[in-house]
Amino acid sequence: MTTDTGEIVSFYEQNADAQWSRFDQTARVEEYVLHRVLDDHFPAEPAVVADIGGGNGRQAFRLAEYGYEVHLCDLTPALVADARTRGARRQVELASAVVADARSLPWPDSLADAALLLGPLYCLTDAADRLAVLREALRVVRPGGVVVCQFFTRVGGLRWILEAAPAVARNFDWRGFLRTGVFGDAHIPDGIRAHYYSTPDEAVAQTREAGWEVVRLQGMDAPAPGTGQSNLARAPRRIVAQWGEVALCLGALPANLSAGTHLLLVARRPG
């Protein structure tokens, strides 16, 4: 069954500003880990990067400022419009920013040296859709190029319910959720219910099925998911970096991959 994306688009339209500001408020460690991983695996600038499902461009603009040629797409028109507005205000602009579905990208084969998939794989609840996204990314990345993917974990989904909607946590099908990675209860808030929550083994298996060679799995936010990262919102950069290094160390341990909220996967296109 193909994912109905109407609910997810509506959610992100209503929360466009938060998709940028959260990295300054509740995700500073997460962003630190992301860019340390990109430093390890992305080609040197001025390589071409496809930011697939890149929202309003938080990471795309940062890469463009480093000297990359960045092409952004997202399914949510409000986020792409916001990216264009931000681009008009900045000295560094994106090469392009278009509304597009990650399952059917508008770009030619082998456009990019590297790709980001930091949203689509947790915004599509149907496995066939996620596989289509991974195959489209494979198509637009040149042989030998890399993709960096982000997944939500099942532990993360349960953590969000306890933090954001504790009343819901008293009565929901948690066994079904752990089995499927999808919240089936209609009373769960849409910002949680509309997403898909993976496992490390599943993320690896599906990425390989799409034709990629998996080279790294990395937890992003342990030991500071949720409240822990919020406590760092006003911390000096050196303190964020310290906890980012802790998260990198702990997130590389296989025993901890399922314990955080966000999981990164790095893969290479054969050739």
Residues 100, 105, 106, 110, Cα dihedral to 10° = 140
**For residues 58 and 22, is the Cβ–Cβ distance under 8 A?**
no
Cβ atoms within 10 A of the Cβ of 210, count? 18
> Could you report the average pLDDT of every consecutive run of 10 residues in the chain (271 residues)?
80 78 79 96 98 96 97 96 90 94 98 98 97 99 99 94 80 94 90 94 98 98 69 87 93 92 97 92
User: What pLDDT is recorded for position 129?
Assistant: 98
- What pLDDT sits at residue 1? 46
* Residue 242: per-residue pLDDT: 93
Please measure the distance between the N-terminal and C-terminal CA atoms of the chain and give it in whole angstroms.
33
- Report how far residue 151's alpha carbon sits from residue 34's, in angstroms, rounded to the nearest whole number: 12
CA neighbor of 72 nearest in space, from 88, 94, 89: 94
Asked if 216 contacts 248 with a C-beta cutoff of 8 angstroms, the reply is no
Give strand pairing partners of 216.
266
Structure tokens at 68: 């990359």
∠ CA 245-196-49, nearest 5°, is: 60
- Structure confidence at residue 211 (pLDDT): 99
Domains of the chain listed by start with CATH number = 6-152+197-268 (3.40.50.150)
Task: Give the integer Cα–Cα distance in Å for 10 and 123.
Answer: 12
Measured distance CA(266)–CA(33) in Å, rounded:
13
Could you give the residue ranges of the DSSP H alpha helices within the chain?
6-14, 16-25, 28-41, 58-66, 77-89, 120-123, 127-140, 154-164, 174-180, 190-193, 200-209, 227-230, 237-251
